[in-house]
Chains A and B, each alone.
Chain A
Amino acid sequence: MTFQELILALERFWAERGCLIVQPYNSEVGAGTFNPHTFLRAIGPEPWNVAYVEPSRRPTDGRYGENPNRLQQFHQYQVILKPSPLDIQELYLESLRALGTDPQHHDIRFIEDDWESPTLGAWGLGWQVWLDGLEISQFTYFQQCGGIDCKPISGELTYGLERIAMYLQDVDDVYELQWAPGIRYGDIYKRAEWEWSTYNFEQADTDLQKSLFAEYEKQVAQLLGLSEKKGKGGALVFDREPLERLALPAYDAVIKCSHYFNVLDARGAISVTERQRYIGRVRILARAVAESWYAQREALGFPLLKTSAAAE
């Protein structure tokens, strides 16, 4: 099974089980979770079932294309089922069968792995899934997103596509994977890994990243009308009504901030104490977007609740 056949098999599998098949986000994200199809849709009462590939950037994980397992950009296959169905584990195991892996013949285990994104103010409980000792997926029940308690709960399945493909194709070096017949992963990405590693570790202009971070931070506040003062108990105060706020462009700016922070981190341009401060700054922005999104959906009467009721 080539890399692209793997993607196609997952797309088909989840489409047949009622997921919307959408596309990767067009901004730099560290994981499928950052895509607004997950981060924003996990908030509030509306149901949401979606699946997509997400090219995910981890600047600090780059190894100049020299390590057979580590990449600064890899591909996740992300599935969100909201509310999480009771048979979500069975669905997941079935999806492995769709990839030609019979769980009966392997050792599959669910190993505790809680997830937390300090920048997104999000956390959940769940597992890593091991296939014969290899971590191939993460499985999370979201408990909180952007500081807001999730209800209902979203189940998130994240497949590590490179790892699964290496397993299925029985290769030890990611660059040897067949993306499509005759085209290897390395033909597409090896040079990119070297360039991006060099950029992230050596050449990224740190002053530029720092000022971009600050500019986008301002942008978020402006688009949401986020006031500098705080309400009771540290509550965020907005000067604009929910439907006058631009939550989606603001969220893009949050993604930018998070990305510039990651690049600065890889460049070693941030001290330990500064690091905490940066994380805190992004978290506030993410929370402001999350609260604005919720307020907007509420003001609109949570439209997808009606759609799903009508469908039933």
Chain B
Amino acid sequence: MSSEFLLEIGTEELPASFVRHALRSMKTSAAELVGQARLETDSLQMDTLGTPRRLALRLRGLAERQPDRDETIMGPPWSAAFEADGSAKKAATGFAKKHRVDVEDLRKQTTDKGDYVSVRVHETGQATREVLGEMLPRLCQRISFPKSMRWGPGEIAFGRPIHWIVSLLGSEVVDFEFAGIRAGRKTRGHRFLAPDSFDLDQASSYESALERAHVIVDIQVRKDRMVEGLLASAKSLGGVLEPDAFLADECVSLVEEPFTVPGQFDESFLELPDAVVISVMRDHQRYFAVRASEGGALLPSYLNVVNTAEDPETIAKGNDRVLRARLADGRFFVEEDRKAPLADRLTKLESVVFQSKLGTMGAKVRRLQANARALAMRSGANADACDEAARLCKADLETLIVYEFPELQGEMGRWYALREGIDPAVADAIRDHYRPQGADDQVPDQVIGAIVAVADRIDTLVGCFGIGLVPSGSADPFALRRAALGIIRIALEGPIDVDLQALIAQAYQAYRGDAKLGAAEEVRASLDDFFRGRIRAMLKDSAGGDVVDACLGAWDGTSLRDLRSRIEAVAELGAAPEFESLAVAFKRAFNITKESARGPIDSTLLEAGAETTLAERFDTVRDQIREATDERRYTDAMKLVATELGAPIDRFFEEVFVMVDDARVRDNRLRLLGEIADTVNGIAHFHQLGTKLQRRDPSVSA
């Protein structure tokens, strides 16, 4: 077992995202380079450690030395290297010289492409320390950041200026140079609490030595300690910590050793909405909020994670002052905002541009009202309430508080609306129409919010597609993918179904007079395509890409819940043992009848046995299958298909040859299979299920 290796790069304060990004790239590169250098062992362990001022990599269980290597190196084609009589040409002598062997040592290697010159070389492994010395400059160069900068003479780019490098294998320095800095054993402690540099005697004492110098290098350990401190402080304030994962990650990345300093603010600020108080504390100052109990009222206190706490009173006093000014600003904004009702902002929205070719926010709001009304009619919701919620949903964008705290949009609209005595269901919808904000966010759980949410997103989608602003690659400035996904999720998880075709048509119609969009059919077709792509991306992991494709193929592009029923039905049947043979049979039926004409089946032409059985069975269940399909009872339809047609169609393909010479018999047979295929295709396109079958059992070929 060899000793431990440590690399520490000391820098000026790196942003949180930089540390995460850099450590990830360090680990990936190290794994690759260590592998290439043949220093890997089964017990190799790689860890990264970091603070705002240092990036560190620890390798345990490196090979003690690089193993020797015998390698066959391929050279030029034999004919290019040797004359027919076996005498060496220039290519052969050159190749031998390059690898420091004699021409006699060259061998002939026969490959698919002909004969080649090859040579076996023996390479003696180097000591690990030497190998590392060569490897480390490359490793450092490969560390990447979201943004790099240059400093001083401007020659080197890195996340922030580099000040020192520690590179120790056991107790010995692995010598190398990067960014003009020679690696050594000198590290530094906490910027303020242990500012002097000091020597590390060996790699394995890194964590403990740094801890004595007030630096906790392991991010998780530092975070645990920070959270412990926060919980204890909250408790001593007589409350509980408001959990905030984002803030915790942020704060732990701003300190080398975490301390908690509690502070206070005037109780009168608690008349502000909680969201405002929390936003002021969190977004501007990175303070944690404290509640009386879990989900209870806020306490007029906060918890501040700091890097030094030699003089907590001074620190608290300074922070209290800053927070007081910020909260006073917040109170001023809310008081100003409340001087006029929300609806008064609608005139201001008339001069705010939504998108230069799509007109103002005022016009957008009017379209939202029309869209919301149409959706309400369709889902049997209260149309007036939906209209009102749509009318007011963007009004808070023109309030001072939302101008200052954009993340409170919706939340503040709701709060102001409730205080104006507006119907709470409408007020909730003002907040909820922004949901879902992302993949982890919930969809609106009430009808009005869901309707306005859909009305808003489809307006953006139709407008942008109508003027050719279609997402491409990673460019999606209007977040259209997210908007489409929002609509799909609302229909599948929320309180209303959505008829996409009708919705697109309605939203297109609403633009009349506001903007000049592309032709209705083009917009519809490209959006239909876009939605199908989103649906596929969203459901392929849970349902399987081929199942989604098969159902998308049969789906008419209207009800999203209808699509889901199909997917569920196919997935349910897919779990049954008879599914595979069934799928194979219907796939054959489809493929064989793709080009053939449809028409009535002539029972007199049917051959006795398998063909007649299939035809008769199909005749008895066809209407039931079609009825179940029409009524969107896809599971029932699938069951009928499986139980009634499964065995007969299998037997048919085993016993009956379709493409017989007698054209009348053959065409009749194709008409029978064609009708069966069409009936089943009404549920899902079985012929698109091929890949899934192969994945399940490679021996089955369709």
Interface set of A (CB-CB < 8 Å, partner B) = 67-69, 83-86, 89, 103-112, 114, 124-125, 127, 131-134, 141, 143, 150-153, 155, 167, 172, 271-273
Question: Which of B147, B255, B308, B329 is close to A104, meaning CB atoms less than 8 Å apart?
Answer: B308
Q: Counting CB contacts under 8 A, is B521 at the interface?
A: no
Question: Which of B154, B322, B353 is close to A152, meaning CB atoms less than 8 Å apart?
Answer: B154
| Distance, CA A133 to CA B325, complexed state (A) | 12
**B321 and A86 contacting across the interface, CB-CB below 8 Å:** no
Distance to closest chain A CB from B158 (angstroms) = 11
Number of interface residues of B (CB under 8 A): 42
Interface centre among A112, A127, A272 (most CB of B within 10 A): A112
Given known A-B contacts A112-B15, A127-B13, A84 and B152 have beta carbons under 8 A apart: yes
Question: Which of B160, B254, B307, B353 is close to A273, meaning CB atoms less than 8 Å apart?
Answer: B353
In the assembled complex, which residues on chain B have CB atoms less than 8 Å from the CB atom of A271?
A: 353
Q: Counting CB contacts under 8 A, is B21 at the interface?
A: no
Give 9 CB contacts A-B under 8 Å.
A104-B308, A107-B306, A133-B285, A134-B322, A141-B149, A141-B151, A150-B150, A151-B153, A172-B324
**B322 and A132 contacting across the interface, CB-CB below 8 Å:** yes
Nearest chain B residue, comparing its CB with the CB of A129: B13
| Distance, CA A273 to CA B353, complexed state (A) | 9
Given known A-B contacts A86-B163, A89-B12, A105 and B314 have beta carbons under 8 A apart: yes
Q: Counting CB contacts under 8 A, is B518 at the interface?
A: no
Nearest chain B residue, comparing its CB with the CB of A111: B254
| Distance, CA A172 to CA B324, complexed state (A) | 9
Question: Which of B18, B307, B325 is close to A107, meaning CB atoms less than 8 Å apart?
Answer: B307
Distance to closest chain B CB from A87 (angstroms) = 9
| Distance, CA A133 to CA B328, complexed state (A) | 16
**B353 and A85 contacting across the interface, CB-CB below 8 Å:** no
Question: Which of B16, B154, B192, B356 is close to A108, meaning CB atoms less than 8 Å apart?
Answer: B192
Distance to closest chain B CB from A173 (angstroms) = 10
Nearest chain B residue, comparing its CB with the CB of A110: B13
| Distance, CA A155 to CA B13, complexed state (A) | 15
**B13 and A131 contacting across the interface, CB-CB below 8 Å:** no
Distance to closest chain A CB from B521 (angstroms) = 30
**A86 and B317 contacting across the interface, CB-CB below 8 Å:** no
| Distance, CA A180 to CA B113, complexed state (A) | 90
Distance to closest chain A CB from B52 (angstroms) = 8
Q: Counting CB contacts under 8 A, is B304 at the interface?
A: yes
| Distance, CA A155 to CA B154, complexed state (A) | 11
In the assembled complex, which residues on chain B have CB atoms less than 8 Å from the CB atom of A172?
A: 321, 324-325
Give me 4 other A-B pairs in contact (C-beta within 8 A), A132-B315, A153-B153 excluded: A83-B153, A106-B308, A107-B309, A112-B16
Given known A-B contacts A134-B322, A151-B154, A172-B325, A109 and B192 have beta carbons under 8 A apart: no
Given known A-B contacts A69-B325, A132-B314, A133-B319, A107 and B154 have beta carbons under 8 A apart: no
Q: Counting CB contacts under 8 A, is B311 at the interface?
A: yes
Contact with A along B282-310 (1 / 0, CB 8 A): 00010000000000000000001011111
In the assembled complex, which residues on chain A have CB atoms less than 8 Å from the CB atom of B353?
A: 271-273
| Distance, CA A35 to CA B610, complexed state (A) | 94
**A273 and B356 contacting across the interface, CB-CB below 8 Å:** yes
Q: Counting CB contacts under 8 A, is B392 at the interface?
A: no
**B154 and A106 contacting across the interface, CB-CB below 8 Å:** no
Q: Counting CB contacts under 8 A, is B323 at the interface?
A: yes
Distance to closest chain B CB from A111 (angstroms) = 7
| Distance, CA A111 to CA B18, complexed state (A) | 12
In the assembled complex, which residues on chain A have CB atoms less than 8 Å from the CB atom of B306?
A: 107, 109
Nearest chain A residue, comparing its CB with the CB of B351: A271
**A109 and B147 contacting across the interface, CB-CB below 8 Å:** no
Distance to closest chain A CB from B189 (angstroms) = 14
Q: Counting CB contacts under 8 A, is B133 at the interface?
A: no
Given known A-B contacts A86-B152, A132-B314, A152-B152, A109 and B307 have beta carbons under 8 A apart: yes
Distance to closest chain A CB from B34 (angstroms) = 31
Distance to closest chain A CB from B477 (angstroms) = 14
Q: Counting CB contacts under 8 A, is B261 at the interface?
A: yes
Question: Which of A69, A107, A125, A133 is close to B308, meaning CB atoms less than 8 Å apart?
Answer: A107
